[in-house]
Structure 1
Amino acid sequence: MIRFGRALDLAGIRDPAARREYRAAVRTLLRADPVHCLAVRLLVPAALQPHLLVCYWFARATDAVADSGPATGRRERFDHWSATVRRALAEEAAGTAAGAVPGPGASPQLAAFARTAVERGLPTEWINRFLSGMRQDAEGTSGGGRAALAGEAEFERYVDRVSLPYLLLLVGVHPGCREPGHARAYWLLAAACQRIDFLADLAEDARTDRAEPTDPADPADPADPADPADRVRLPGAELAVQIARARTALYAARPVLDLTPLELRPMMNAFLLMHSLHLEAIERAGERVRRRRVGHPLLPTARLLLAGHGQVRHG
């Protein structure tokens, strides 16, 4: 694996303060999601690694603000986060943030993301669309699991609002991924990933639902809120249906490889295979998926990433 310092060099990030900001973002991401962080480090050309990693950090950080912490005041916390993001982007675009201390409320990681967003030309519309979609999660009015259970129409709206913008922020650092004609292929990939994430997170979603206050007078409330699986409202037959839908969706997303720029194709291929392995692990877990989160199978995933590493040219 190429040293991250060398990746920063090849990305043209030489200012010491900026390098510290990118390193801070990668350290945070490595703790939160070592599997996908390692995938980028192994499968993406070095010059793109810092940019893609800080975009991934931003997407996860925004998701965490929307979904974490006490429900009371969550929307206000998310609005503060959105305002901080937009201020950091505006400062970077105006040239006032380069080599300077980040503005009020901006972390070193956010300063790195703002730099990448401006330097790589990430469409502001995509960032605003993602923030707007995640705000609905912060309000408690949406969510991947709820959307999937509510029906296909609601699920597709969720993919439009959240899943697709999330994906576009990651691949959008490469201009070849911004072609308007590619939108459908990325939508299919985002939908497939969302279906698998929903299944992997069933137990976590159940615990979240259990923690939410219920109205004793509401007949829709479950008779036994002590059982998290009841709160998910996903019978065994429906679990099988959702797994089958996820598998079909993942197969339908494979043409995205033909549209992916060569520099990102090893990562995209591994991304599809990683989700396939994840879905297989979910299917093997069966009913246990209701009680604990099913993560990526580590050994097969590590083999997959190492196999793809040999295809990458760092230049």
Structure 2
Amino acid sequence: MHTWDTTLTTAGINEPALRHAYTRQRATVAGYRRHAYLAVRLLLPPALVPHVIAATAFMHHTDTALDTTTGGHDGWPAWETEVRTGLESGTGAHPVLRPLLRTITSHPQLRTHVADFLDGAPLERESTGFATESAYQKYVDAYSLPAFMLIASLLLSPDADPGASREVCRTYIDGSQRLDFVNDLSEDLRDGRLGLSDEALERHGTTRRDLERARDTTGTRALLRAELGQARRDLLAARRLVAFAPPGHRAFTRAVIALETLTAERALAAGTGLLRRPAGPPLAGALGVLAREYRRRGR
């Protein structure tokens, strides 16, 4: 693994204040999803590492701003304005925005995806649940996919077919988002949110109250199996995404999909235990994925 200073230098990030801003974002991402952070550091070319971290930190910060109101103050409108102004001017002082804008100078395709992500934000703010599967799919198109494209646009080969690659990206994020909504049930329900559709609950003969009370019933078990099974199938189908990445990005792409698939399998094994706490990928399995892809990348 290259040192962090080496990745910054290799990426052409030389100004001390800017290096410090990227370093702050590294700490945020490392604390948010440790396995994903290790995959970035181990498996991506050093010149790309700071840029993936900047895009990930921006996505996380924006997602948090959408969901957070402090002291009666809603910070989202000001953040959206600051980001859009930064996209127009190319400058911004915010410690999350400044690295992102520098990354856009190296990867200009990211600009469109940032704008698309902001455009989809109102649906994320307004959503507390879905009446139908169709409503969930609309959410994926409007918000989840633009969010994923912030990262995917940095991984895809410049000559990848735009339509075909985006289709596979959508398959991946449909599986990943569905997995997140099932895996985060215990936390989301406490916050008054449910990511599974009313239609799905009715089909399996269960209710929101059953989920809130963590009831182990035939209906709740069937619901979780069906949703997680669909998520796993989408993740497995998304392995085609590797073909759209250049050789240097393929180990990381395989690892990300494999880690999500491991999480889905652990969640399936947990059953209604997910109604009390989320599942994560088994440590040995996750480390095995990273070690295997690191050796493969070296060869």
TM over 0.5: yes
SS of 1:295 mapped into structure 2: coil
CA distance 1:119–1:41, shift in 2 (3 Å): same
Look up the match of 2:162.
180
C-alpha contact (below 8 Å) 1:88/1:114 kept by paired residues = yes
Output one character per residue of 1:41-91: Cα deviation in whole Å (capped at 9) or x when no partner. 111110100001110111111111112346965xx4212111111223333
Look up the match of 2:100.
113
CA distance 1:79–1:223, shift in 2 (3 Å): closer
Look up the match of 2:292.
307
C-alpha contact (below 8 Å) 1:22/1:50 kept by paired residues = yes
C-alpha contact (below 8 Å) 1:199/1:243 kept by paired residues = yes
C-alpha contact (below 8 Å) 2:168/2:238 kept by paired residues = yes
Look up the match of 1:19.
19
**What CA distance in whole angstroms lies between the structure 2 residues aligned with 1:224 and 1:18?**
49
**What CA distance in whole angstroms lies between the structure 1 residues aligned with 2:69 and 2:63?**
12
Cα distance, 1:188 vs. partner?
0.8
Look up the match of 1:281.
266
Matched residue type, 1:20 = H
Q: Residue 241 of structure 1: which of 217, 220, 226 is its match?
A: 226
SS of 1:302 mapped into structure 2: helix
Count of aligned residue pairs for this structure pair: 281
**What CA distance in whole angstroms lies between the structure 2 residues aligned with 1:199 and 1:225?**
14
Look up the match of 1:30.
30
Query: Once the two structures are aligned, what percentage of the paired residues are identical?
Result: 28
C-alpha contact (below 8 Å) 1:52/1:171 kept by paired residues = no
**What CA distance in whole angstroms lies between the structure 2 residues aligned with 1:226 and 1:172?**
37
Look up the match of 1:65.
65
**TM-score relative to the length of structure 2:** 0.85
SS of 2:48 mapped into structure 1: helix
**What CA distance in whole angstroms lies between the structure 2 residues aligned with 1:266 and 1:159?**
26
**What CA distance in whole angstroms lies between the structure 2 residues aligned with 1:243 and 1:223?**
17
Q: Residue 87 of structure 2: which of 77, 86, 89 is its match?
A: 89
C-alpha contact (below 8 Å) 2:224/2:268 kept by paired residues = no
SS of 2:191 mapped into structure 1: helix
RMSD of aligned C-alpha atoms? 2.6
C-alpha contact (below 8 Å) 1:44/1:312 kept by paired residues = no
Structure 2's unaligned 5+ residue stretches are 195-206
Matching of residues 112-191 of structure 1 within 5 Å: 112-139=99-126, 141=127, 146-147=129-130, 150-174=131-155, 176=157, 179-181=161-163, 182-191=165-174
**TM-score relative to the length of structure 1:** 0.81
Matched residue type, 2:225 = A
Look up the match of 1:219.
none
C-alpha contact (below 8 Å) 2:266/2:281 kept by paired residues = yes
Matching of residues 198-237 of structure 1 within 5 Å: 198-209=181-192, 227-229=212-214, 235-237=220-222
C-alpha contact (below 8 Å) 1:189/1:250 kept by paired residues = yes
Look up the match of 1:214.
none
Cα distance, 1:251 vs. partner?
2.2
**What CA distance in whole angstroms lies between the structure 2 residues aligned with 1:262 and 1:85?**
33
**What CA distance in whole angstroms lies between the structure 1 residues aligned with 2:83 and 2:149?**
17
CA distance 1:223–1:43, shift in 2 (3 Å): closer
Cα distance, 1:210 vs. partner?
7.6
**What CA distance in whole angstroms lies between the structure 2 residues aligned with 1:35 and 1:166?**
19
Cα distance, 1:134 vs. partner?
2.4
C-alpha contact (below 8 Å) 1:120/1:174 kept by paired residues = no
